[in-house]
Structure 1
Amino acid sequence: MIEKEKGLGYRSLSKKYKLNISTIKNWCRDYQSFGIESIRRSMRKTEYSDKLKLSVLRFRQEHGLFYRETAKHFQIKNLATIANWNRIYCEEGIAGLSRALGRPKKDGENDMSKRPQKPRQLTKSEWEELQELRERNEYL
């Protein structure tokens, strides 16, 4: 961002850092709208309440705003998030906004931690080490 502010163009920054020019443009736009925090990589996905999603969609409709303007107003970094909420709301209504994220589980599919695991056969060296550790534990 500093280099862009010094006058370097998108194309030269793109070549220098070997990034797509649209990535540079998006970062600059996000930086101008939301500050430095907007371009730092988030460690987890932001979750929004159903109430907020509905409020955002109603605000956009009432004020006749574009997705970008609405995203800026609510400080939602990715304007496609609002577009997705709008699509889901049009297709499924309010109930669609509250459904769980991610791929739905197939019938009979459980969490991995609940799956019974088959015990595997130990190698001779593993068996010997296990016996040695058991003897040490008994000693303690």
Structure 2
Amino acid sequence: MAKYSDEFKVMIVREYLAGLLGYKRLAEKYKIKSTTQIKNWVLVYKEYGVEGLFRKESNEVYSVQFKLDVLSFIKRTGASLTETALHFGLTNPPMISSWNKKFLEGGAEALDQPRGRPAMFDKAKNVKSTQLTSKDEMTREQKLERENELLRLEVAYLKKLKAFQMDPDGYLERHKQRYHSNSRINSD
């Protein structure tokens, strides 16, 4: 998406409000790809004045609860992204679409993931990690072995579940003898 200067936004909004040209003609005149951008600027201007157009995209981090409240508001009211952004004081309506996509793909946990790349480790942290004692390495190794075992169990379970879902009767028939022998052992 193209970035436009604050002065340019104010000029477009004032030209629209003067009634000389509509959204479509302004977009054509100034080579703006979408009339939606101009509509958003006009709505922000009407709601917050010139200062609303001067708001910069901030690196503000919103809480998961806030994001859920915004998405819930859209669902309850059927408001558009722009109306919702104005209601919650957000300057970037497409950001709400991004939150909704993340929520649909991964639930509330996905809304908690930080943006961008993780920070690089300091050299001091790297040096410290290489100076671990053998006891610490063993603990780490044990944790990794435990994680591997749990993953193996999960894969085995999913394979059996898939086999059962594909042919429940055949699966039970193949494993019938095993279940009967186990039940006899438990009943003695």
**Structure with the greater alpha carbon radius of gyration:** 2
- Write out per-residue CA displacement over residues 111-138 of structure 1, whole angstroms, 9 at most, x where no aligned residue: 59989xxxxxxxxxxxxxxxxxxxxxxx
Matched with 1:110 is 121
Q: What is the rounded CA distance, in whole Å, between the counterparts of 1:113 and 1:42 in structure 2?
A: 35
Structure 2 SS opposite 1:93: helix
1:26-41 matched pairs, under 5 angstroms: 26-41=40-55
Asked if the contact 2:40–2:82 (Cα under 8 Å) also holds between the matched residues in 1, the reply is no
Task: Say whether 1:8 aligns with 2:20.
Answer: yes
Query: In structure 2, what is the Cα distance between the partners aligned to 1:41 and 1:113?
Result: 39
Counting matched residue pairs gives: 111
Matched, 1:84 2:84: no
**1:47 partnered with 2:58:** no
* TM-aligned CA deviation for residue 7 of structure 1: 2.8
- Per the TM alignment, residue 26 of structure 1 is displaced from its structure 2 partner at its CA by 3.8
- Over 3 Å counting, the alpha-carbon distance change for 1:52 and 1:72 in structure 2 is same
Does structure 2 retain, via aligned residues, the 8 Å contact 1:14–1:24?
no
Which residue type is aligned with residue 101 of structure 2? R
Q: How far 1:101 moved relative to its partner?
A: 0.9
Q: Which runs of 5+ in 1 are unaligned?
A: 116-140
**Structure 1 residue 58 displacement after superposition:** 1.4
Q: CA RMSD, aligned part only?
A: 3.2
Q: 1:14 to 1:45 in 2, by over 3 A?
A: farther
